């Protein structure tokens, strides 16, 4: 635009003095337009090229990453044993310590809740138990055996995981509930799992029932409905170890109540580990671990910690809203 103004201004002066004809000025303007457009295209090309270079580097990095070994080790038949976490330390590649000498025991059939401020290492602890990472120090045992001694496929097959926002794939409700299972699921099994997850009522009200398309990432369903489908999926897997990662924290109070009832059904008779920000799970847990800056600073049941741990008391009063219950 600046060049166009300069050419028109200077060219107009030249035309006024007779040194340049009007046709020659128009020709200069047309030449300028024809030059500017390719220059803009070159600029866009180099911008897209830089994006492609960055994306390609990430793709190559992913392709070169070491694959998980799913077959080495011993087949795990039953996970109905205590899980011992002993002096576990962990740091990511950046070198910042996330967990430091963390030790606790998860009793079979009991509920263990992990609470603490954001960034204290709660989700990292889940990742270590699921074997997405290996501890830098210490060990995690199931009974007397290191969990690394079991095949990855058999270890993870014993774990059911319900996250804060249960991810759904583009497909039907049936496909989402049955996702990840290597056997045929009967209609009776499917309906029973949906009923225990309190999902059967809203599913049957949909036009196509279990064949209803949920859309990309489940956009056609509400948050509470997605959570209940995630719980039904976990129920259908019938896991012996259950991990709940703030499974009700993003829901409104009405949806939270229904989902909490479904979680109660899911937790019966299973070894349960909960990252908890909600009142009922924490109050009823058999063991509460307070994780602070990568260290366990308190453990016990709710009433005991509320009396003896100042930060837990503050945390419970503000985030868990237990003041009226205590």
CA atoms within 13 A on the CB side of 207: 3
Calpha distance 245→189 (Å, rounded): 25
Three-class SS state of 137:
strand
- The catalytic position among 61, 216, 246, 314 is 246
Q: Which DSSP helix (H) or strand (E) runs through 293?
A: none
Per the DSSP assignment, residues forming a β-bridge with 213 are 172
Calpha distance 179→234 (Å, rounded): 10
With beta carbons less than 8 A apart as the criterion, state whether 147 and 140 touch: yes
Active site residue 246: yes
Comparing C-alpha atoms, which of 189, 188, 260 is closest to residue 224? Answer: 260
Q: Which DSSP helix (H) or strand (E) runs through 176?
A: helix 173-177
Q: Give catalytic residues, as residue numbers.
A: 246
């Amino acid at each position: 635009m600046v060049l166009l103004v300069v050419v028109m201004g200077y060219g107009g002066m030249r035309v006024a003095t007779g040194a340049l004809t009007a046709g020659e000025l128009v020709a200069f303007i047309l030449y300028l337009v024809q030059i500017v457009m390719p220059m803009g295209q070159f600029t866009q090309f180099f911008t897209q090229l830089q994006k492609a270079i960055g994306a390609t580097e990430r793709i190559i990095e992913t392709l070169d990453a070491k694959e998980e070994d799913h077959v080495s080790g011993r087949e795990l038949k039953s996970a109905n044993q205590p899980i011992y976490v002993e002096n576990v330390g962990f740091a990511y590649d950046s070198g910042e310590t996330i967990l430091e000498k963390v030790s606790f025991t998860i009793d079979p059939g009991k509920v263990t809740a992990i609470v603490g401020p954001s960034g204290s290492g709660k989700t990292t602890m889940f990742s270590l138990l699921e074997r997405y990472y290996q501890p830098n120090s210490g060990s995690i045992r199931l009974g007397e055996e290191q969990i690394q001694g079991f095949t990855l496929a058999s270890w993870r097959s014993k774990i059911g995981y319900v996250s804060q926002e249960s991810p759904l794939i583009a497909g039907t409700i049936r496909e989402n509930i049955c996702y990840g299972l290597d056997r045929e699921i009967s209609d009776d099994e499917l309906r029973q799992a949906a009923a225990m997850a309190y999902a059967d009522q809203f599913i049957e009200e949909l036009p196509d029932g279990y064949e209803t398309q949920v859309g990309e990432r489940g956009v056609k369903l509400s948050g509470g409905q997605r959570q209940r489908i995630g719980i039904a999926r976990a129920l259908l897997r019938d896991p012996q170890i259950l991990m709940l990662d703030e499974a009700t924290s993003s829901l409104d109070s009405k949806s939270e109540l229904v989902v909490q009832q479904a979680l109660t059904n899911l937790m019966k008779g299973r070894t349960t580990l909960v990252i908890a920000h909600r009142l009922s799970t924490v109050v009823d847990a058999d063991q509460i671990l307070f994780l602070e800056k990568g260290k366990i600073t308190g453990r016990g049941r709710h009433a005991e910690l509320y009396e003896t741990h100042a930060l837990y008391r503050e945390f419970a009063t503000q985030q868990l809203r237990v003041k009226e219950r205590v």
